Structure formats: C-alpha cells, structure tokens
Amino acid sequence: MTKIIDADTDLTNITPARRYLVATDGACRGNPGPGGWGAILTSFDVDRLPRTKSLSGAKRHTTNNEMELTAAIRALTRLPVNDVPALVQSDSQYVVNGMNEWRHGWEANDWRTSAGKPVKNRELWEALIAAVGDREVTWEWVRGHAGHQGNETADQLANKAIDRMLHGNRA
C-alpha cells in the first residue's frame, strides 16, 4: 500500500513507534553512461537507538532513471519482511510520482502510458512494486543537492560506487 503525504505534514501524529526511514539516490555520468545508486536505511524502534545501514552499487551502462529505481528496489529488499512501515525519500520525481500517481494507471492499462506507449523500465517498476509488497510505504520527494542529509549521503554513496567501478579502487 502506498500513502501520499504532503511535505508540510506534521509527522509527529502519524509516525509509529517502530519505522524505517530510507533515503535513496541514483547518479549517472552521461545519460546513458556509467551509473551508481546509493541508499541509507535507518531503523527506528522505541526501545533502541536508531540503527543505520548504507548500500550502494554501480553499472557500466545505464540511465539515471534506472539507477533511481534500483536504489529504491535494493533498499526495500534489504528491509526485514515485517509489517513495519517505511518512509522512502527520493529526489527523483520519476520514482515518487510513479509510485504515488502513475503505477495504478499503468497496471490497469497493461503497462501502457496514457499515450498508449509501453512504460519504460517496466521490469524495474514491477520489481519495485514487488519490493513494497504489503508493507505500508510512504513516498516523499526531497529536493536534490539542497542539504537534505539523507539524500546528500545517498548521492555520495552512488558516486563513490561509480568511482570504484571505473577505477577499481575502494574510493
């Protein structure tokens, strides 16, 4: 299930005691070109300090949209299978609007856009929907490169993954 929230929503009234916060980002040098993805997963529980895990990866020939989707897929598939809700923050309007607005129309139209064309990256969209499963996930757009800590860290992870792939080092 996907919930839509406004960026001005007061989360103190809807934030459960146990939850996940996921910040994702994709990067591409050339589009298409070498790309990377990064994600920060933070687990909040009422009885513990927050726990954070970082993930990243890269691909030699890809697009930015593919990396944005991959970051969300890889992050959600790393969460334990449970009913704990997640807030996914992304600077990709493509990912956020796709999950909040477009996906239901695509599914109803046999994965065709309103113009009748096949949906690009269908396999990744289907993988993202499967990764969500029955979990309550809220998708939130954040402005990229504007000081949002989670997004900035995910961006750094994505770019370091590209560097490691291209230069074979542990940058």
Catalytic residues: 25-26, 68, 91, 145, 155
Contact 26, 162 (CB under 8 A): no
Helix (H, G, I), strand (E, B) or coil at 5: coil
For strands 137-141 and 86-90, give the pairing.
parallel
Helix (H, G, I), strand (E, B) or coil at 142: coil
Among the listed residues 5, 3, 7, the one whose alpha carbon sits nearest the alpha carbon of residue 142: 7
| Residue 162, Cβ density class (10 Å: 0-12 exposed, 13-18 middle, ≥19 buried) | buried
Total count of residues recorded for the chain: 171
Among the listed residues 83, 80, 36, 31, the one whose alpha carbon sits nearest the alpha carbon of residue 55: 36
Structure-block tokens of residue 1: 């299930």
